Amino acid sequence: MNCIFCNIEEPRIIDQDALFFVIRDGFPVTEGHSLFIPHRHAPTWFDLTTEEQTALSALLNKHKKLLQDADSTITGFNIGMNCGEDAGQTVMHCHVHLIPRRKGDMEDPKGGVRGVIP
Ligand code: AMP
Ligand code: ZN
């Protein structure tokens, strides 16, 4: 299949379980920006099975801790998904963004993901 995430080179995978794998984003918003991607090609979160949706929590929690253990400047996170082209999705294989945030990384972080529509 002609899909970037179905064809990720093995060395770029930093972790995986039975249902998901994790990579660093190729064009990170902040250092450590990671993507959680189901092995199975499904377009969006809403196309995942309940088992897949549930399994993701454990991997997100694990990497939240790993990132903060490795970098004490990380003081917050944004978790985000773009579901559909009109919501900004560019790779049509479901992925969840975990974006580390650091105090002072922007002038006024208030609102966070609400900023998707300026
Ligand atoms: P979205 O806009 O939500 O579909 O996110 C797609 C994400 O994939 C963006 O954050 C891109 O920076 C990232 N991306 C695109 N191509 C690659 C690639 N070859 N390897 C890693 N990340 C990629
Ligand atoms: Zn795919």
Average pLDDT score, the chain: 97
Give the pLDDT of residue 66.
98
pTM (two decimals): 0.97
pLDDT tens for 19-76 read 999 999 999 999 999 999 999 999 999 999 999 999 999 999 999 999 999 999 999 9
Give the pLDDT of residue 9.
97
Give the pLDDT of residue 118.
86
CB 39 within 8 A of CB 19: yes
50-59 contact pairs (CB < 8 A, 24+): 51/19, 52/19, 52/20, 55/17, 55/18, 55/19, 55/20, 56/19, 56/20, 56/96, 58/17, 59/15, 59/17, 59/20, 59/22
pLDDT of 103 over the 90 cut: yes
Mean pLDDT of 80-95: 98
Give the pLDDT of residue 64.
98
Mean pLDDT of 95-111: 97
Q: Is the CB of 91 under 6 A from ligand 1?
A: yes
Measured in angstroms, how far is the CA atom of residue 101 from the centroid of ligand 1?
A: 18
Whose CA is closest to atom 11 on ligand 1?
Answer: 27
Q: Which of 19, 37, 17, 34 is nearest to 98 (CA)?
A: 34
Q: Which ligand is nearest to the CA of 91?
A: 1
For ligand 1, mutation pick of 4, 33, 98 (most atoms within 8 Å of CB): 4
